Structure 1
Amino acid sequence: MAFLYKAIDYEKLISYQYNASTFSLDRMEKLLAHMGNPHKNLSCVHITGTKGKGSTAIMMATIMEYAGLVTGLFTSPHLIDLKERIQINRQKIAETEFASIMDELQPYIRYLQETSPSASPTFFEILTALSMVYFQRKRTEMAVLEVGLGGRLDSTNVVVPLASIITNIGFDHTSILGNTLSSIAYEKAGIIKQGVPLVSGIEGAEALSVVEKTCREKNASLYLLGRDIWIEEVKHLVKDGIRGILCRIKTWRYTYDNIYLPLAGIHQARNCALVFGALEILRERGIIAVNDDTIRKALAALHCPARIEVIAENPCIILDFAHTADSMRFLKKALIENFTFRKLIIVLGFSQDKDMDTILKEIVMEADSIIVTRSKNPRAAAPGDLYQRIERISGKQPEIVNNVQDAVIMAKQMASHEDMICITGSSYVAGEARQALYIS
């Protein structure tokens, strides 16, 4: 772990150049070639998007597992344990196996660090390679790979998947991916491969035109939510004490009825619809066979950590990592529609590169009390900056707490049994809050 964390970690850098030299797929290809090209024969589904790609990946992998396939899942970031990012059948990679593969990677990486530093792989590239080696050695029958950033230059983009998914496209990482929807779409569309079908939930015409053009150039069939896949019905439902949704989703092949997702928020039906689209592609090609009951059981067993996750009751404590304006809007809507509470206490912490004013406008007016904090990540925005933004936007004066654990303790002291505490803003805040809730 110490060796791994010495590699360049763009998840912790505040600013950097986003181009083909900084994010080099050639560097990734060489690292994988050194390990025997484990990605070349990896059956996989590749997922990107601005919002919802993590939930979509978890849904996809869970259905594959319930269908009887040995299923790998590579996601990012993690909440508490780095090994959360690499799983087979919902089991994290074991420390011994993680260390064993790292031992094999180290000599080659050390050589590059000493002889050609610019050619040495980054933190995320090493993790991606490690996951692919692990999946190959465990004879994974299907892998679900979530893009880390963008798509075109992401280290996962060395694979040729059986199907690709682009969940939606909105504004995030604008200083890196561009400040127009077309420029962001161009980066996301980079995962589209020659002849590989794409399923997408893109709504805006600007982003959609870029993706459609890429699909034509790559001769890749495009299946769109709202055109080829439809959400026919969504209802809020409480089942076994868990808030969720019941939905009916229709694809170009079939209608999936009575689908229960133990997840708060109607937006999760969109993610599920994209999963069903990718599932149809795999079924049409004879890659997977799965019946309705198995699909229902798989989705009913879903666990998506820190996606409007209820951590405690009385007071109700919600953990989430809404970090874009769209995701904060979905969170606000889900809180209003799914929960009853007297006062809403919000704990907020963001990364510096976010469009904080736009995000804050979505939530601060709903809050009765606000606590601003920061995670331990070097990219974390200063609580004083958040304070000034919130005061300017709403006139409200939040409490300033300089670490997440103390912010959680303060929120619990402020709350009565009828209140709600919502902790959100970044995955780093969510992870530290989860630890604090089990400590405090």
Structure 2
Amino acid sequence: MHFNTYEEALNWIHGTLRLGIKPGLTRMELLLEKLNHPEKKNRFIHIAGTNGKGSTLTFISSVLQKEGYRVGTFTSPYIETFNERIAINSLPISDADLIHLANRIAPITEEIAVGEYGPTSEFEIITAMMFLYFAEFEKIDFGIIEVGLGGRLDSTNVLIPILSVITTIGLDHMEFLGDTIEEIAFEKGGIIKPSIPVVAGVLQDSVIETLEELAISRNAPFYLYKKDFVAEKVGDKLLNYRDDFGELKALQIGLAGDHQIQNASVAIYSLRLLEAEKWIHLSEEGLRGGIADAFWPGRLEKIAQNPAIILDGAHNPEGIHALIQTLQQTNSEKIVLLFSALLDKNYDEMIQEIQTNVDNVEFYLTTFDFPRAMAKKDVLEVAEKHNLTPILDWKVFLEQILPELQETPLFITGSLYFISEVRKYLLEKTSTV
């Protein structure tokens, strides 16, 4: 197998998606062993959590870049192009490098596939590409790695980081991670390594207890939001922050939403801890500038004004709770909301939460072109069940409603895969006007 074009390489990677999610580290360890262990050749920060992983990663990466470091990031899913999943200083991997990586890894996956552990999954292949890229193709000072699913058995959990970060924990991916919040916390806490410090933004008592027990059992220092570091909102995208290292007042946050206070705080403490342990140098100017300049597409991102169009990938109950806070604070007589969820998500609960907590919302439900998205018949059934307006073609809907909105804001939310499609469509439409 040999790839000559970007499309060929990408089709091969995506073709392994049919193998599904395959928790476990054995294939990953075997693959990396055959690649001479690229995961051991850099300093990594490892981030797990139900929500907030991408935002926290963005805050940390932005500050490190302000301080002059070369930062590799590994994220999912992508918003604009597949390549952005593997990036250095926010610049996605090139098509040419992706082709080279695919040609390096494909023969090894063929060899593994006929063995006792079976074929490698899409996420395992992409993870191996990332490690190899940062080890041999492009030099980095630090890598910030986002867990794909869970933590304990996630493909990224083969690394030994300099810091582990756990953002929030909620009931998501229960078919893989467990039926209770404590079982899910145990899986997420699987990224905790012996003697490696952990910074956590979790709030539930039972989750804190689960993670603390894991940290103690592995002799890992454990630092907790609202205990070891605290923050308070003092204005729009503005916070005061305090920890044992000192106080920072009137910090501007680059990302919108009150929940970003928590994510920014986790990032700030992580950075100050890394400085205390002599991993990095950190100036107040770099810290303030990086937190203020942080940008993460599709997270309460306003992409148009008059009418205001806000995109937010609230794809699970935790994300919906954060979105509701913003909707409640929106100063408008009416809000138009277009929502689309994957069929394997708890969309009933998410819809009910919005209907219960937001009075002035005009609520539409739609679908989009993705294997796990609702079918049109599902949209009709769910819309009738919850007294929503079904939309079978979201592009036609946007064409019709945008001229009518004027001062009414439009929030588009749900699956990040949906947000990715809508964002691309709207930005292209705007650029041609």
Alignment of 1:185-264 (within 5 A): 185-231=185-231, 233-237=232-236, 245-264=237-256
Contact 1:328-1:363 within 8 A present in 2 as well: yes
Specify every segment of 5 or more residues in structure 2 that has no aligned partner in the other structure, as ranges. Answer: 1-9
Alignment of 1:389-400 (within 5 A): 389-393=382-386, 396-400=387-391
Q: What is the CA–CA distance in structure 2 between the aligned matches of 1:426 and 1:30, rounded to whole Å?
A: 33
SS at structure 1 position matched to 2:59? helix
Query: Which residue of structure 1 lines up, in the alignment, with residue 364 of structure 2?
Result: 371
Following superposition, the deviation at residue 41 of structure 1 comes to 2.5
Write the letter of the residue equivalent to 2:371: P
Following superposition, the deviation at residue 279 of structure 1 comes to 1.2
Q: What is the CA–CA distance in structure 2 between the aligned matches of 1:122 and 1:340, rounded to whole Å?
A: 46
Q: What is the CA–CA distance in structure 2 between the aligned matches of 1:301 and 1:208, rounded to whole Å?
A: 31
Contact 1:345-1:368 within 8 A present in 2 as well: yes
Following superposition, the deviation at residue 118 of structure 1 comes to 4.5
Q: What is the CA–CA distance in structure 1 between the aligned matches of 2:390 and 2:234, rounded to whole Å?
A: 37
Q: What is the CA–CA distance in structure 1 between the aligned matches of 2:413 and 2:144, rounded to whole Å?
A: 26
Query: Which residue of structure 2 lines up, in the alignment, with residue 4 of structure 1?
Result: 13
Identical counterparts, % of pairs: 31
Contact 1:175-1:353 within 8 A present in 2 as well: no
Following superposition, the deviation at residue 379 of structure 1 comes to 0.9
SS at structure 2 position matched to 1:362? helix
Q: What is the CA–CA distance in structure 2 between the aligned matches of 1:234 and 1:64, rounded to whole Å?
A: 24
Query: Which residue of structure 1 lines up, in the alignment, with residue 36 of structure 2?
Result: 36
Contact 1:343-1:418 within 8 A present in 2 as well: no
SS at structure 1 position matched to 2:17? coil
Q: What is the CA–CA distance in structure 2 between the aligned matches of 1:204 and 1:263, rounded to whole Å?
A: 24
Contact 2:316-2:346 within 8 A present in 1 as well: yes
Alignment of 1:62-81 (within 5 A): 62-81=62-81
Query: Which residue of structure 2 lines up, in the alignment, with residue 357 of structure 1?
Result: 348
Alignment of 1:294-313 (within 5 A): 294-313=286-305
Q: What is the CA–CA distance in structure 2 between the aligned matches of 1:397 and 1:430, rounded to whole Å?
A: 20
Q: Deviations over 1:32-80 (max 9, x none)?
A: 1222211113201100111111100111111111111110010101123
Contact 1:51-1:169 within 8 A present in 2 as well: yes
Q: Deviations over 1:328-356 (max 9, x none)?
A: 1211211332x433431111111112111
Following superposition, the deviation at residue 407 of structure 1 comes to 4.0
Alignment of 1:154-193 (within 5 A): 154-193=154-193
Q: What is the CA–CA distance in structure 1 between the aligned matches of 2:280 and 2:127, rounded to whole Å?
A: 25
Contact 1:46-1:163 within 8 A present in 2 as well: yes
Write the letter of the residue equivalent to 1:377: F
SS at structure 2 position matched to 1:87? strand
Query: Which residue of structure 2 lines up, in the alignment, with residue 418 of structure 1?
Result: 407
Query: Would you identify which runs of 4 or more consecutive aligned residues in structure 1 move more than 4 Å?
Result: none
Q: Deviations over 1:199-256 (max 9, x none)?
A: 111111222221111011100011011110111x31333xxxxxxx111111222222
TM-score normalized by the length of structure 1: 0.90
Q: What is the CA–CA distance in structure 2 between the aligned matches of 1:71 and 1:320, rounded to whole Å?
A: 25
SS at structure 1 position matched to 2:101? helix
Specify every segment of 5 or more residues in structure 1 that has no aligned partner in the other structure, as ranges. Answer: 17-21, 238-244
